[in-house]
Amino acid sequence: MTTYITTPIYYVNSQPHLGHAYTTIVADTYNRFRRLCGEDVRFQTGTDEHGDKIVEAAEKEGLKPREYVDKISRLFRQTWPLLNVACDRFIRTTDEDHMNLVRVILQRVYDGGDIYFDRYSGLYCTGCERFLIERELVDGKCPDHQVVPREITEQNYFFRMSRYQQQLIDHIKNNPEFITPERYRNEVLSFLEEPLEDLCISRPVSRLDWGIRLPFDDRYVTYVWFDALINYLTGIGYPDSPDFKRFWEGAEHLIAKDILKPHAIYWPTMLMAAGVPLYKKLHVHGYWNVDETKMSKSIGNVVRPAELVDAYGTDTLRYFTLREMSFGLDASFSSEAIVARKNADLANDLGNLFSRSVSMVNKYCDGMVPEPADTDGDSELEETAAVMLEKYRKAFGDFQFHKGLMAIWDFVSMANRYIVQNEPWALAKNEASRPRLNTVIYHLMESLRLLCLVLRPVMPETASRMQYGLGLAEDDKTVVSLPDGETWGLLVPGTVLNRIDVLFPRIDVRKEKAAKKEQTKKKESGVKEGGREGELEGVITFEQFQNVELRVARVVHAERVPKSDRLLKLEIVVPENRTIVAGIADFYQPEEVVGRSVIVVANLKPAQLMGVRSQGMILAAKTKGEDGKDRLVLASVAGDVEPGSRVA
């Protein structure tokens, strides 16, 4: 059996956040789980780089679309290794092989008579990158983006999606697992009860030229969704590569509910029209909210994965997201929730089980896994392990990661109870109970081996550390392969343990609270934070930029500051009167600046310079004069602008 797991390819109009991280962590975990089961798997993620939204975002940054997409796509690619996500291909819609395949498929569908030219009037939502129909609107607005869509009338190409409506309904009904969880399958079927409209799949080049030109009419580019969805075929070399033949029948797409329609309706009908068999499954999850509110740039509560990794560690983040969200439903992120999970589940339950068991091996068995003597009274632990393995396989196979993790933690609790019930420290006091002590300790070590095995897809780094701690070689099959490792009792007595540091140090909640307070204070005062993401991008956020108040000011009076060669004292109007001290006396005579419009930072904390209070800072460009020496040139605005006007 093969599996081909994909994430959506993310728009490069925003930087990676917790939502993108979650989908990608889930896909990576599923990839690792299937491999652990001994299956042949391919995993793909990437970036979606054409369309209106991208052009808009590039313009905002003053970059050409190409420069802009390269920059943001790189940010995504650099983020995934921080989360220990390892894909087989990171695809970009600007990749040459992808653009070629989109043209091939468009031509094929056109030749098959499923693309036609027509005039169209519709309500277009830039956020969704699609025309919406009346019944999708709530109070006249797009429910996802809260904007009134634009009315657009133009001639365009259409995909005859309606032709495949019945075939799609039949497929969904005959394949109950095609769309999961069931609530999303029902949502799609109920949408399909109404007649399906054809899909507008082009944009005139006059309106948008950052896209793939239609092979049969180069006055148009193709619609982003027709471009983006095809990435799933490009990535495995459709049509000729052996990878396509090997992996397509095992294709499982993973998305959040925001893009259900394109994946559950456009994509299968596109595949039908192109004569390609349908993908196997679509897995749909809910949204991450932050402190009960939807994560959004404008609210300013966007959570960045790199910051979470810095604060809590990669494996904690992976575990937390998979455990906290019931797949299919919405979940809420808060730093309190992640700290609580780390301290309770990871440090207390799992971490303590590991450290207590290992320290007993060191204390009572010379650091070596002992030979068990009998199994009387231990069958409950062994049986719980078997139940855990069964539930784990089923839950992870069905994308119910939280349930799989609950089953694992039931076993962790059972093992912790087993220590309390058997009191190894009491057994150690009496030489006659040595065989029983060895048995108890062996069973604990065997439990840890199984935990290392099942936790590997979720927390690969922790699993490797546990493996090393248990004295097992890197290629030891009993901890890297489920079929080779799931039988109870495979740990070899005599194995010598290695020393490792605590698996999960506890987080001091009080310190954490103080740090958070400090961070909020810094954010509010607009201080730029360092941190991994800042270093990665070398940029400030829009919110940070907005904290700087730039205004146009008129200089009404200027004089030298006594006893200073460098400083001029300027009286300005912004529109209120202020005094500013500027280090420009080497380059400007006082009379030269009077009457000029300059740009000032108006909300800078006042400072005392040579006894004069300066209320702001004047902007100047630093350049070299003809003599090769530094020269300052005052920044100003072209044209007549009222003093006090904001520069943004």
Out of 3, 16, 22, 444, point to the residue binding ligand MSP (CB under 6 A): 22
Out of 4, 15, 16, 19, point to the residue binding ligand MSP (CB under 6 A): 19
| DSSP result, 360-375 | HHHHHHTTBPPPP---
Out of 137, 189, 205, 256, point to the residue binding ligand MSP (CB under 6 A): 256
283 binds ligand MSP (CB under 6 A): no
416/266 Cα distance (integer angstroms): 51
Token pair for 218 = 């180069």
Out of 295, 466, 574, 620, point to the residue binding ligand MSP (CB under 6 A): 295
**Residue number with CB closer to ligand MSP (48 or 315):** 48
- Tokens 């969200």 label which residue? 325
**Residue number with CB closer to ligand MSP (231 or 384):** 231
23 binds ligand MSP (CB under 6 A): yes
Considering only residues 31 to 70 of the shown chain, the ones binding ligand MSP according to CB under 6 A are 48
How many residues touch ligand MSP (CB under 6 A)?
Answer: 19
* Contact present, 577 and 615 (Cβ < 8 Å): no
Token pair for 161 = 């999606």
Other Cβ atoms within 10 Å of 450 Cβ, number? 25
Least Cα distance to 52 among 182, 150, 199, 172 occurs for 150
**Residue number with CB closer to ligand MSP (232 or 488):** 232
Out of 4, 8, 353, 400, point to the residue binding ligand MSP (CB under 6 A): 8
Beta bridge mates, 282: 179, 253
Active-site positions read 17, 20, 125, 128, 142, 145, 294, 297
Buried b (16+ CB within 10 A) or exposed e, 565-599: eebbbbbbbbeeebebbbbbbebbeeeebeeebbb
Residue 316's alpha-carbon distances to 313, 332, 646, in angstroms, are 6, 16, 45
Name the one range near ligand MSP by CB under 6 A: 4-12, 148-156, 498-506, 627-635: 4-12
25/34 Cα distance (integer angstroms): 14
**Residue number with CB closer to ligand MSP (228 or 620):** 228
Name the one range near ligand MSP by CB under 6 A: 15-23, 60-68, 175-183, 448-456: 15-23
* Contact present, 263 and 231 (Cβ < 8 Å): no
Least Cα distance to 163 among 92, 210, 206, 115 occurs for 115
1/18 Cα distance (integer angstroms): 32
**Residue number with CB closer to ligand MSP (259 or 444):** 259
Token pair for 331 = 């979940």
Token pair for 229 = 């969805």
- Give the shortest CB-392-to-ligand MSP separation in angstroms: 24
- Give the shortest CB-327-to-ligand MSP separation in angstroms: 11
288 binds ligand MSP (CB under 6 A): yes
Rounded to 5 degrees, what angle do the CA atoms 381, 322, 459 make?
Answer: 65
- Give the shortest CB-543-to-ligand MSP separation in angstroms: 18
| 490: Cα within 13 Å, side-chain hemisphere | 19
401/416 Cα distance (integer angstroms): 23
Alpha-helical segments (H) within 366-433 = 379-397, 401-422, 424-427
313 binds ligand MSP (CB under 6 A): no
10 binds ligand MSP (CB under 6 A): yes
- Give the shortest CB-323-to-ligand MSP separation in angstroms: 15
Residue 563, Ramachandran bin (φ over 0: left; ψ between -120 and 50: alpha; else beta): left
- From residue 424 to residue 443, the character string flagging contacts with ligand MSP as x (rule: CB under 6 A) and all else as - is --------------------
259/179 Cα distance (integer angstroms): 13
**Residue number with CB closer to ligand MSP (231 or 314):** 231
- Give the shortest CB-520-to-ligand MSP separation in angstroms: 22
Considering only residues 203 to 232 of the shown chain, the ones binding ligand MSP according to CB under 6 A are 228-229, 231
- Give the shortest CB-145-to-ligand MSP separation in angstroms: 11
Token pair for 319 = 């575990």
Considering only residues 178 to 197 of the shown chain, the ones binding ligand MSP according to CB under 6 A are none
Other Cβ atoms within 10 Å of 496 Cβ, number? 11
21 binds ligand MSP (CB under 6 A): no
> At 200, which helix (H) or strand (E)?
strand 199-200
* Contact present, 471 and 369 (Cβ < 8 Å): yes
Out of 41, 57, 188, 255, point to the residue binding ligand MSP (CB under 6 A): 255
Residue 493's alpha-carbon distances to 368, 439, 446, 471, in angstroms, are 7, 11, 10, 11
Out of 11, 247, 266, 396, point to the residue binding ligand MSP (CB under 6 A): 11
Name the one range near ligand MSP by CB under 6 A: 152-160, 255-263, 511-519, 610-618: 255-263
401 binds ligand MSP (CB under 6 A): no
Token pair for 632 = 């300052």
- Give the shortest CB-534-to-ligand MSP separation in angstroms: 22
- Give the shortest CB-450-to-ligand MSP separation in angstroms: 31
Binding site for ligand MSP (CB under 6 A): 8-11, 19-20, 22-23, 48, 228-229, 231, 255-256, 258-259, 287-288, 295
